[in-house]
Structure 1
Amino acid sequence: MDVIDFAELRARAQRRGIDLAGPQRPDFHHLIHVHADAEALSHVVDFTEHVVPSGGWLWVRPGQVHQYGELTRSRGTIVIWRPGFVTVDPAPPDTPVLPGAAAREAVDLALRHLLSDYADLGSMTLEAHNRALRRLLDVLLLRLAHAGEVPPVRNPADGPFERFRAAVERDFTRTRRVADYAAELGYSTRTLTRATSSATGRSAKSYLDARIVLEARRLLVHTDQPSADIARHLGFTSSGDFSKFFRKHDGRSPLAFRAQARGTRTPGRCG
């Protein structure tokens, strides 16, 4: 686990030649907090721009592509940890969280306690120090999970949509047919569609296609893999089929999307 402020992040990036405004896809968690007396921070996660308000928090998960906004205009703290470090891992919100008045004091206290123990390295053995940090980060995450004025409504962990979502995360490179997931999970396609629509406002097929498009975008912007290699990774039989699928959902060819997302010149031919 690591804790840094925005100024230290800028300094590290400069030393390592990293463009924080460019796309990054780390394999660890980022919990970004903008101080209550600082300017809001713009932050792009999976190609969607969010504004983290003063006093707000944003949780970026491993594998997501994210890009920092203008860090010099804001001040804040970033808690970084690898998967498996904490014992409690509540589902992170997809948008910034601004704790309500009733929860703000408890969240701030949890952060201060974590920062204090993080800085107090010499008073315990390293093993005990890490155990303490795990517990304190658990508390901070649980406080944030209940920081809104109204606790978020969660779908049952063993319900049709949650099981479908887990199966999609596991198998979206293997099959793009909702019927295959329905058969595997023991539901009808109608049940999956109804449950997905209730949870997300879109059909099961639309949800599945969107997950595939998201992964394609991540690979296009964060790797230099040819379109044909990405097509094979995502389970397409040909790069042409992949290009048609991507263009249908994004409106651009894969390589045109890559060029635009990176701010480079559009290639002469489509991906």
Structure 2
Amino acid sequence: MAKKRHDARVDARAEIREIAFTPPAGTPAGVEVLSLADLRHRVTAAQLATPHRPDFHHLLTLTGGTLWHTVDFTGYALEPGSWLWVRPGQVHQWGDLTGAEGILILFRPDFLDAATADAARTQDPHAPVLRLPLPDDATALRLAAEHLGIEFRALGHLPLDVHTAALRHLLAVLVLRLTHLTAPAGSPAPEPDPTYLRFRDAVERDFARTRRVEDYAQTLGYSPRTLSRATLTAAGLGAKEFIDRRVILEAKRLLAHSDQSAARIADHLGFPSPTHFSKFFHRGTGQTPIAFRDTVRGHSAR
């Protein structure tokens, strides 16, 4: 498995455990395929249950048993045939792996070619996490995952550059099929709107600096109305709500998974005072920051 290197550093994003992708020695740098049995042997249950934020993608499907997996405060019950896709930057926790069997595919954001990454929405933090394919789709996805695993384990049968290219193409087939499951029946997935993509990336980069749509519009060279229209079409919500949701998500992550004070989190997220942060958080969630922390940690303890 990509070794889970636990950085000792505590950066501005808090004490959430940051996990970097480190490929096994001698394998192509960028992708790994392993079974859940392999995962159980390599990582302790306590480590898996700890909230962590990887810098790489996780694709998981079960072939037997059941599994509960939490991604950014939402729990997902996995059964054979279902697929879970955790993206870089999302905070997730593994449930009890005892009795669960399946395939886990790990890959870096830059492993796929740019056209595939865009078409598969690999950088979209709002893309669906859980996918439940129809029987025909399930068979194709299973075969794609198995073929990818066979090629990954066939290191040395081909020149390394050819082997890497084959893995990249096989992974592309899998992620494109998974992405297609979220499109309306009988219609292709819409092409991503460049305006929305630029805005989404700018928010991901600057949400702790500004929450004003006007600031993003000025930086990107659009009008605020254009950004709101593009975001409404692509994500189903306006530009201001899109920004605020991203800030609230980060606040929840820090409150739940770090011991930073609400005042420190407020400062990190660009609020002029803890009071402003508390009002903003309460307006978006119906709870104060401290009440949210107590609720989440109380549930985790139980």
* Aligned 8 A contact 2:62 2:82 in 1: yes
Match of 2:132 among 98, 104, 113: 98
Deviation at 1:213, TM superposition (A): 0.5
Provide the aligned C-alpha RMSD in A: 2.8
The change in CA–CA distance for 1:222 and 1:131 in structure 2 (over 3 A counts) is farther
1:115 aligns with 2:146: no
Structure 1: give runs of 5+ residues left out of the alignment: 267-271
Q: Provide the secondary structure at the position in 2 that maps to 1:72.
A: coil
1:229 aligns with 2:288: no
Worse-superposed segment, 212-221 or 103-112: 103-112
Q: How does 1:1-271 map to 2 (within 5 A)?
A: 1-14=31-44, 17-18=46-47, 20-35=48-63, 38-87=64-113, 88-89=116-117, 90-92=120-122, 93-147=127-181, 149-151=185-187, 153-154=189-190, 156-159=192-195, 161-263=196-298
- 1:150 & 1:98 partners in 2: Cα distance? 17
Paired amino acid for 2:150: S
- 1:130-152: CA deviations, max 9, x gaps? 34322322222223223465456
The change in CA–CA distance for 1:255 and 1:11 in structure 2 (over 3 A counts) is farther
Normalising by the residue count of structure 2, what TM-score does the alignment of the two structures yield?
Answer: 0.74
Identity of aligned residues (%): 48
- 2:243 & 2:188 partners in 1: Cα distance? 24
The change in CA–CA distance for 1:101 and 1:213 in structure 2 (over 3 A counts) is same
Normalising by the residue count of structure 1, what TM-score does the alignment of the two structures yield?
Answer: 0.82
- 1:139 & 1:49 partners in 2: Cα distance? 27
The change in CA–CA distance for 1:186 and 1:121 in structure 2 (over 3 A counts) is closer
Worse-superposed segment, 183-192 or 65-74: 183-192
Deviation at 1:262, TM superposition (A): 3.3
Paired amino acid for 1:12: R
Deviation at 1:63, TM superposition (A): 0.7
- 2:177 & 2:236 partners in 1: Cα distance? 28
The change in CA–CA distance for 1:248 and 1:39 in structure 2 (over 3 A counts) is same
Deviation at 1:10, TM superposition (A): 2.8
* Aligned 8 A contact 2:193 2:230 in 1: no
